[in-house]
């Protein structure tokens, strides 16, 4: 990813700001994971400058111009750096660090300069001690300190040049604050609504388990995003669930014949490939289900772009198979394997895992018989796929036989899809799975 830039200074002596890039259309902030250069290093266009982490991937930042790294404005490991925030300054030949100017002195926190929130007056007043000594703190840290009643003069900064940053203030306690093992319970007055219950904070939970042996695992960007999006999904999307059983024996026999016929190609079709294809074709048969929620309207999509959940260490990705209804089974199989490999290495580009109108989550390969999946907004639905299980089946004539039966559950956003519509989609999906030859027509 090439770096973005802007110019600072006056006249001919102007240094170049290197800005935090937007690695995807929806990215608002990221983590500056690692600097690959140091102040004073000479770089050329195309050289790698830093590693930038989003919630989904780690990408390398490339230099656009030749020059010398005059100043690194954001420290390694800094989280929530806003897009278009200056993160470094590049000097041209003949310029020196003095040409950068006062805009980037140690008291200036570039990582929070772009924050739109005003700094409360109380926080601004705390920028100096009673003796007039200036305290270097980011605007966000000052605001949090004012809200918590924390005196910045009592803190030691962990940011660049000893600057007080958000983490320093969040870990601080105001004078006289007492630790409590449980949050205070507000008594609701008659005629009022009690406040919504809040999750216990880290300190409160730690006190409950005081004396117990445990290891504290900090959340990375992916896990934080998963937590936020799933909470949003369950709180804001009116889920309902439709369940159905699918007989797999015809598909398993058909798959076996196909794989033997294409063995020389190196492609081996999986049951999941058939599931993706069947889902895509069912979306075309019942087009009103091929839709996403867009706040005050529904967007009905034309092509069947199917997102497929892929488990990775610490979370999951949902790479998207575009136009899956028109793709052959072998093409779906090949692309899915490639996407899954890059997903596990966290090398997917944003356009490969964003979008789609529908998702598939298959835990059957892990032996899970059935489960309910959480919709990934703005999708209108997601299919949870369980394992194929040998099951006694009673035929219409009353005879009993053994069949391989797979349980599927369609999680539906009721704002987008009604029950009868979801049932029609499930019927179409089951038809393709139980009559796999029809997927080739």
Joined tokens for residue 280 = 């895509």
Q: Which domain holds residue 138?
A: 121-170
Question: Which of these three, 170, 192, 211, is where a domain ends?
Answer: 170
Find out whether 19 and 86 touch, Cβ atoms under 8 Å: yes
The answer to whether residues 366 and 434 belong to one domain is yes
81 with 146, same domain: the answer is no
User: Is residue 303 in a domain?
Assistant: yes
- So which residues are the catalytic ones? 414
Instruction: Please give the pLDDT value at position 298.
Output: 96
What is the Rg, in whole angstroms, of the alpha carbon atoms belonging to the chain?
28
Does residue 105 share a domain with residue 128? no
Same domain for 296 and 337: yes
What percent of the chain has pLDDT above 90? 48
What does the pLDDT read at residue 121? 33
pLDDT band at 112 (very low <50, low <70, confident <90, very high): very low
* pTM confidence score: 0.62
| pLDDT at site 196 | 47
78 and 126 in a common domain: no
**Beta-bridge partners for 265:** none
The answer to whether the beta carbons of residues 109 and 163 sit under 8 Å apart is yes
Quick one: 353 and 258 in the same domain? yes
Task: Look up the CATH number of the domain holding residue 23.
Answer: 2.40.50.100
Give CA–CA dist 103/8, Å, rounded.
9
Does the pLDDT at position 427 exceed 60? Answer: yes
CA angle (253, 254, 255) in 5-degree steps: 90
Please give the backbone phi and psi of residue 423, each rounded to the nearest 5 degrees, phi first. Answer: -65, -35
pLDDT score, position 199 = 64
What was the pLDDT predicted at 127? Answer: 47
Name 115's Cβ contacts closer than 8 Å, sequence gap at least 6: 82, 139, 140
Average pLDDT over residues 91-114: 52
pLDDT at 189 over 50: no
Same domain, 135 and 40: no
Tell me which residue of 392, 376, 394 sits closest to 384, measured CA to CA: 376
Q: Give the end-to-end CA distance of the chain in Å, rounded to a whole number.
A: 42
Note whether residue 188 is domain-resident: no
Dihedral of CA atoms 418, 420, 425, 431 in degrees, nearest 10, equals 170
Q: Is the pLDDT of residue 187 over 60?
A: no
DSSP string for 182-212: SPPPPPPPTTSPPPPP-PPPHHHHHHHTTTS
Any domain includes 96: yes
Tell me which of 26-30, 165-169, 338-342 is least confident: 165-169
pLDDT tens for residues 4-33? 555 554 444 456 889 998 877 677 888 998
Domain assignment present for 329: yes
pLDDT tens-digit profile of 206-243? 888 888 998 888 887 778 888 888 888 999 999 999 99
Helical segments of 267-369, H only: 271-285, 329-344, 350-353
Say which residues have a Cβ less than 8 Å from residue 254's Cβ, sequence separation at least 6: 436, 437
User: What's the rounded Cα separation, in Å, for the pair 441 and 420?
Assistant: 27
Within a domain: 191:
no
Contact 407, 429 (CB under 8 A): no
CB proximity list for 135: less than 8 A, separation 6 or greater: 126, 127, 128, 129, 152, 153, 164
**How much is the pLDDT for 225?**
81
Query: Is residue 168 a contact partner of residue 155, using CB atoms and an 8 Å limit?
Result: yes
Ranges of beta strands (E only) in 363-434 are: 381-394, 400-413
Rank 42-51, 90-99, 114-123, 140-149 by mean pLDDT and report only the highest: 42-51
How far is 146 from 166, CA to CA, in rounded Å? 12
Residue 187 lies in a domain: no
- Give the number of other CB atoms < 10 A from CB of residue 315: 18
Which pLDDT value is given to residue 165?
73
Q: Which two tokens stand for residue 191?
A: 């005629």
Count structural domains, the chain.
3
Query: Is 422 contained in some domain?
Result: yes
- Evaluate if residue 368 carries a pLDDT over 70: yes
CATH of the domain at 341: 3.30.559.10
Indicate whether 296 and 374 sit together in one domain. Answer: yes
- Confirm whether 8 is domain-assigned: yes
Co-location of 250 and 377 in the same domain: yes
What is the Cα 390 distance to its own chain's centre? 37
Per-chain mean pLDDT for the chain: 82
Share of the chain above pLDDT 70, in %: 78
CATH number of the domain residue 163 falls in:
4.10.320.10
Query: 341 and 280 share a domain?
Result: yes
What is the 8-class DSSP label of residue 66? Answer: -
Q: Are residues 126 and 101 in the same domain?
A: no
Cα–Cα distance measured from residue 387 to residue 75, given in angstroms and rounded to the nearest whole number = 47
Q: Which residue has the higher pLDDT, 324 or 67?
A: 324
Same domain, 269 and 367: yes
More confident: 207 or 430? 430
- Please give the angle made by the CA atoms of 402, 406 and 410, to the nearest 5 degrees: 150
Three-state SS at 332: helix
Give yes or no for residue 438 having a pLDDT over 60: yes
Other CB atoms within a 10 A radius of the CB of residue 283 amount to 26
404, 391 contact by CB (below 8 A): yes
- Tell me how crowded residue 157 is: count the other CB atoms within 10 A of its CB: 19
Per-residue pLDDT for 381 more than 80? yes
Query: Going by C-beta distance under 8 Å and a sequence separation of 6 or more, which residues neighbour residue 75?
Result: 32, 159, 160
């Amino acid at each position: 990813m090439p770096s973005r830039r802007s110019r600072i200074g006056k006249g001919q002596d102007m240094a170049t700001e290197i800005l935090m890039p937007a690695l995807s259309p929806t990215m608002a902030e990221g983590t500056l994971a690692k600097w690959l250069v140091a102040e004073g290093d000479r770089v050329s266009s195309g050289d790698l400058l830093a590693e930038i982490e989003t919630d989904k991937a780690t990408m390398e930042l490339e230099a656009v111009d030749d020059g010398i790294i005059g100043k690194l404005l954001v420290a390694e490991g800094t989280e929530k750096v806003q897009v278009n925030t200056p993160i470094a300054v590049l000097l041209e030949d003949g310029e020196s660090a003095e040409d950068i100017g006062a805009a980037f002195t140690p008291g200036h926190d570039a990582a929070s300069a772009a924050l739109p929130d005003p700094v409360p007056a109380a926080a601004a007043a705390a920028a100096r001690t009673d003796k007039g000594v200036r305290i270097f703190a980011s605007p966000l840290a000052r605001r949090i300190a004012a809200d918590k009643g924390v005196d910045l003069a009592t803190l030691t900064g962990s940011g660049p040049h000893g600057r007080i940053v958000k983490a320093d203030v969040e870990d601080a306690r105001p004078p006289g604050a007492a630790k409590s093992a449980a949050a205070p319970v507000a008594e609701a007055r008659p005629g009022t609504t009690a406040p919504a219950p809040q999750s216990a904070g880290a300190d409160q939970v730690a006190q409950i388990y005081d004396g117990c042996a445990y290891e504290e695992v900090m959340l990375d960007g992916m896990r934080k995003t998963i937590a936020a999006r799933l909470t949003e999904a369950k709180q804001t999307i009116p889920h309902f669930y439709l369940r159905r059983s699918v007989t797999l024996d015809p598909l398993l026999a058909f798959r076996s014949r196909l794989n033997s016929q294409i063995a020389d190609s190196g492609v081996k079709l999986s049951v999941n490939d058939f599931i993706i294809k069947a889902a895509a074709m069912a979306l075309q048969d019942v087009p009103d289900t091929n839709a996403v929620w867009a706040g005050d309207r529904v967007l009905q999509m034309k092509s069947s772009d199917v997102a497929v959940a892929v488990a990775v260490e610490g979370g999951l990705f949902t790479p998207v198979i575009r136009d899956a209804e028109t793709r052959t089974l072998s093409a779906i199989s090949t692309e899915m394997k490639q996407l899954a490999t890059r997903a596990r290495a966290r090398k997917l580009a944003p356009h490969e895992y964003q979008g789609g109108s529908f998702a598939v989550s298959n835990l059957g390969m892990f032996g899970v018989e059935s489960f309910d999946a959480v919709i990934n907004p703005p999708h209108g639905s997601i299919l949870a796929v369980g394992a194929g299980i040998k099951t006694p089946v009673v035929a219409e004539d009353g005879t009993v036989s053994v069949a391989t039966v797979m349980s599927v559950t369609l999680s539906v956003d009721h704002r987008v899809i009604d029950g009868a519509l979801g049932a029609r989609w499930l019927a179409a999906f089951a038809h393709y799975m139980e009559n796999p030859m029809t997927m080739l027509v």
